[in-house]
Amino acid sequence: MPEQVSTSGAANGFAPYSLVSISPARSRRSDPFVAFEQVGRVRRFARDEEIYGEGDPADAWFKVISGTVRICKFLADGRRYIAAFCDSGECFGLDDVGERVFSAEAVGAVTVTRYPRSATERLIDENPLLSRGLCEITLHDLAHAQIRMLRLGRMTASERVANFLLELSEQQDARRIIEVSMSRGDIADHLGLTIETVCRVLSAFKRDRLISIPGLHQIEVLDRAALEAVGET
Partner DNA sequence: CGCCAGTTTGACCAAGATCAACGCAAGTGG
Partner DNA sequence: CCACTTGCGTTGATCTTGGTCAAACTGGCG
Partner from a second copy, DNA, none contacting 28, C-beta within 5 to 8 A by type:
none
Q: C-alpha distances in angstroms, 43 versus 31, 49, 62, 63, 230? A: 23, 12, 10, 10, 40
Residues in Cβ contact with 142 at an 8 Å cutoff, skipping those fewer than 6 apart: none
CA dist., res. 90 & res. 85, Å (int): 9
Q: Is 42 in the site for a second copy (CB under 8 A)?
A: no
Question: Binding pattern to a second copy, positions 12-41, x when CB under 8 A?
Answer: xxxxxxx-----------------------
CB of 130 to a second copy, least distance (A): 8
Query: Given the rule CB under 8 A, which of 40-48, 72-80, 103-111, 202-210 is the region that contacts a second copy?
Result: 72-80
Residue 79 contacts a second copy per CB under 8 A? yes
In the complex with a second copy, the residue whose CB is nearer, 45 or 115, is 115
Residue 233 found at the interface with DNA (CB under 7 A) = no
203 counts as binding DNA under rule CB under 7 A: yes
Examine residue 107 and tell whether it contacts a second copy (CB under 8 A).
no
27 binds, among a second copy, DNA, none (CB under 5 to 8 A by kind): none
Contact status, residue 154 vs residue 41, Cβ threshold 8 Å: no
Using DSSP bridges, classify how beta strands 41-45 and 80-86 pair: parallel, antiparallel or unpaired.
unpaired
Query: By CB under 7 A, is residue 199 in contact with DNA?
Result: yes
Question: Which ranges constitute the DSSP H helices of 157-222?
Answer: 157-171, 184-191, 195-207
CA distance 119 to 124: 9
107 touches which of a second copy, DNA, none (CB within 5 to 8 A by kind)? none
The yes or no reply on residue 193 touching DNA (CB under 7 A) is yes
For a second copy, which stretch binds (CB under 8 A), given 110-118, 166-174, 177-185, 207-215? 110-118
Q: Give the integer Cα–Cα distance in Å for 211 and 220.
A: 5
The dihedral built from the CA positions of residue 24, 29, 35 and 40, taken in this order, carries a sign that is positive
- The smaller minimum CB distance to DNA, of residues 108 and 116, is found at 108
- Chain-centre distance for alpha carbon 171: 9
211 Cβ partners below 8 Å, 6+ apart? Answer: 165, 202, 205, 219, 220, 221, 222, 223, 227
Q: Which does 229 bind (CB under 5 to 8 A by kind): DNA, a second copy, none?
A: none
Q: Which residues bind DNA (CB under 7 A)?
A: 156-158, 183-185, 192-200, 202-203, 213, 215-217
